[in-house]
Structure 1
Amino acid sequence: MKLILNKLKKLSKASERKLKSEMSSDETGVIHLDSVSHFYPNDKFPTIENLNLLVKHGEFISILGESGAGKTTTLRMIAGFEKISSGYLRIGGQLVGSNFLHAPPNHRNLGVVFQDYALFPHMTVYKNIEFGMDSKIIDKTDKINSILSMVGMHGYENKYVHELSGGQQQRVAIARAVAINPIALLLDEPFSNLDRILARELRKDIKKIVTNTETTTILVTHDREEALAISDRVAVVSNRKILQIDSPEYIYNNPLTPEVARLVGPCDFIDGEYNNNTVLTSFGKFSAKPLQKIDDHQKVKVLIRPSDIYISHEGGENFSNTVISREYRGEYDEYEIISEKGEIIHSRMNNFANIAIDSKVQITLSKNRSVIVYKN
């Protein structure tokens, strides 16, 4: 691994990226976790178990999961801050982690951006970015100025950390990470300390930066909106395992399990009986899409998303579903509806509907939408 990194240091930026790309293949990827597990000392259960993940050159992958799912431990294993208990980790096709080998973080050529920025408060912005760069580079100023412009921080090179806002500090952290021309960029909840508007702006900028520089990127996050918005693929993690990995659009519309459905978007689950691509529920009969073979007349669990539900109260005297709450959410109203059976679902509709609480309503699906059904 040292020989490879030494070779990289002697190359121009363009040549370096080309070599990094050639170091990976469809089989090895830039980062490859092969049946990786991790135990903390004295723990009975693994933090992550039999994890398989292949990240290709230039790909942006998000690892999405709740606290304790194992996503940050996965990132720390890739970075070299945690040792692998079993399995194999390869970076650029080279083995850097297993139960018999552990390459330290400074030999992996990875850029890491932490949740708390981890900037040096006694250094200027310039010195923070310069810190990890190769000492053999004679004139670093042009490169640092170019990177500062790329992250929208040109003119701040002589500022200290305490003089910057949270968003500006995170931009400096990103600049420091990309300044070393990393094989890949690792982002650990980088937007969690920022307000929603600033986080949205910064994630768009990061996506643009890594796309333009063809930098392979792994983002760890608990924010599904964040993961869906900027990723090429999303890996949903729960209970120490990857449950599903696919494009944001596919994984949202085709979640393999109810747990995946819950983690990637708001949803309700009700009972139903499946028959010939339809499902009969306490709210009515809907078009249904099974993701596995389900026999006719089988009892199923039905996934319904609030954005797919349309409610109407015209002719309400013949309807059996009742609106029990309504919340104004700015862009839409969210209604809570209860069936005669006592099951509850939600609907998100524009503000013009203005359906009153206690109204009797009919439930229909939005055009070209189907509910997803799972075996009980």
Structure 2
Amino acid sequence: MALSVHGVTVRYGQFTAVREVGMEIADGEVLALLGPSGSGKSTLLRAIAGLERLAAGSVRWDGADLAGVPVHRRGFGLMFQDGQLFPHHDVAGNISFGLRMRGVKAPERVRGLLELVGLSGYEGRRVTELSGGEAQRVALARALAPEPRLLLLDEPLSDLDAGMREQLAVDLAEVLRNAKITALLVTHDQEEAFTLADRVAVVLAGEIRQVGGVREVWRHPVDEPVAAFFGVTTFLDGTASGGVVRCDLGEAPLEVPDGRVRLGLRPAALRLSAHGVPGEVVSRVHRRDHLRLRARTSLSTVDAVAPVDAEVGPGDSVHLALDPGGIAVVGRR
């Protein structure tokens, strides 16, 4: 493994921000530290970078302990959410900053990086004239200029509006894969993590609760707190048999070993149907491409979804059927 983290703990006085974390990143892999604000994921990234003192544990690169190695000698590139560009330098000056610190002049490298991030011809632009997305592309090019062995990305897209963030996430994923960059990404945004990362490490309350591929952590959260972070709003027991799960809210096809299962239902797990569990709509909220409903059944009040043009509202009687696309199997892999 390129990066190995073992038992890392970071404390601020009596408060433990990161507790006994262990993880590994393979060469060329993108790993996302995903969790809510205040979970300790940025602190962990800063500890790996050498910006936070370890109370315990170790950070190693190719087996070599980095204890005592200063930030600027670790060979890591850093990119933060606000880009932190130098306003008194043009685009080329910002990108070449790290190279100049090493006494290297590489205009071809700058041009190549601008092409890589989709900003060819921007060398002489003032950074104050750039859009938010363009500024973040320049910040990425600057972080990549010294050819870091590990790229550390701390909420790189969070300052952008939703549309720009979505597009830049797709573009950034393409850049990372084309350049075969080893990277550690910190984000609270699930879509961003799933777009950019090969694997996801879920961080809650300073601990890594689950590490796995995107599909694995989404479909099989390790416990209820992780499932709730991934949008599960209803938990109930069921049984699996022959590729079908059955519970008090109905049944649905789902590939899971036979036996008892703990199911987690996201709102999309229950949809309006001509047949199914009867209920009464308590509330509805318009979302971009669907209606989000709260419905009272004989068992409990649950979340569900309906087509955006469905004529249904509070007080209406409905029937709800399970949709396997919104079901997670909790604590069983």
What TM-score, normalized to structure 2?
Answer: 0.89
Change over 3 Å in CA distance of 1:368–1:153 after alignment to 2: closer
- Provide the aligned length of Structure 1 versus Structure 2: 329
Equivalence for 1:267: 232
> In the alignment, which residue of structure 1 is the partner of 2:8?
36
Q: 1:33–1:51: 8 Å Cα contact kept in structure 2?
A: yes
Cα-to-partner distance string for 1:288-328 (whole Å, 9 max, x where unaligned): 98999986xxxx9641112221222x479xx6411112222
Counterpart amino acid of residue 310 in structure 1: R
CA drift at 1:280: 4.2
**How big is the shift at 1:127?**
1.1
Tell me if 1:96 matches 2:54.
no
Aligned to 1:349: 306
Query: Separation in 1 of the partners of 2:272 and 2:36?
Result: 32
**2:52 counterpart letter in structure 1:** E
What is residue 318 of structure 2 aligned with on the other side?
361
DSSP-derived class of the 1:322 partner? strand
Change (3 A) 1:70 1:339: same
- Point out the structure with the larger strand share: 2
Structure 1: state its 5+ residue gaps.
1-28
Residue 56 (1) aligns with residue 13 (2)? no
1:219 to 185, 193, 197: 185
Larger radius of gyration: 1
SS at match of 2:272: strand
* Alignment CA distance shift 1:77-1:138 (3 Å): closer
Deviation of the 1:160 alpha carbon = 2.2
Counterpart of 1:304 in structure 2 is 265
Query: In the alignment, is the contact (CA less than 8 A) between 1:256 and 1:291 conserved in 2?
Result: no
Q: Return the match for 2:98 from 96, 121, 132.
A: 132
1:54-110 superposed Cα distances (whole Å, 9 cap, x missing partner): 00011011101112211001110111111211111012332103xxxx211111111
Could you say if the C-alpha distance between residues 166 and 95 of structure 1 is closer, same or farther in structure 2, counting changes exceeding 3 Å?
same
Deviates more, 1:131-140 or 1:173-182: 131-140
CA distance in structure 2 between the partners assigned to 1:167 and 1:133 by the alignment: 23
Aligned equivalent of 2:49: 79
Structure-2 change in CA distance of 1:304 and 1:230 (3 Å): same
Gaps of 5+ in 2: none
The equivalent residue for 2:281 is: 323
Alignment of 1:1-376 (within 5 A): 29-40=1-12, 42-43=13-14, 45-97=15-67, 102-133=68-99, 139-264=105-230, 266-270=231-235, 272=236, 274=238, 280-281=247-248, 284-286=249-251, 302-312=263-273, 314=274, 320-341=278-299, 343-366=300-323, 372=329
Opposite residue 268 of structure 1, the aligned amino acid is: T
C-alpha deviations, 1:216-262, integer Å up to 9, x for none?
A: 01110111111122210010000110000111111100001111112
Q: Is the 8 A contact 2:240 2:259 kept in 1?
A: no
Per the TM alignment, residue 48 of structure 1 is displaced from its structure 2 partner at its CA by 0.5
CA shift for structure 1 position 354: 3.1
Percent identical pairs in the alignment equals: 31
What secondary structure, in the 3-state scheme, does the structure 1 residue paired with 2:137 have? helix
Q: Quick one: distance in 2 between partners of 1:276 and 1:151?
A: 47
1:128 shift after superposition: 1.1
Give the Cα–Cα distance (whole angstroms) in 2 for the partners of residues 367 and 288 of structure 1: 6
Structure 2 CA distance for partners of 1:136 and 1:103, relative to 1, 3 Å: closer
Deviations 1:145-197 (A, max 9, x none): 11111112222212222121211111111010000000011100011100111
On the 8 A contact 1:30/1:57 being kept in 2, the answer is: yes
Whether the aligned pair in 2 keeps the contact of 1:114 and 1:189 (CA below 8 Å) is yes
CA RMSD of aligned residues (A): 2.7
C-alpha distance 263-287 of structure 1, shift in aligned 2 (>3 A): same
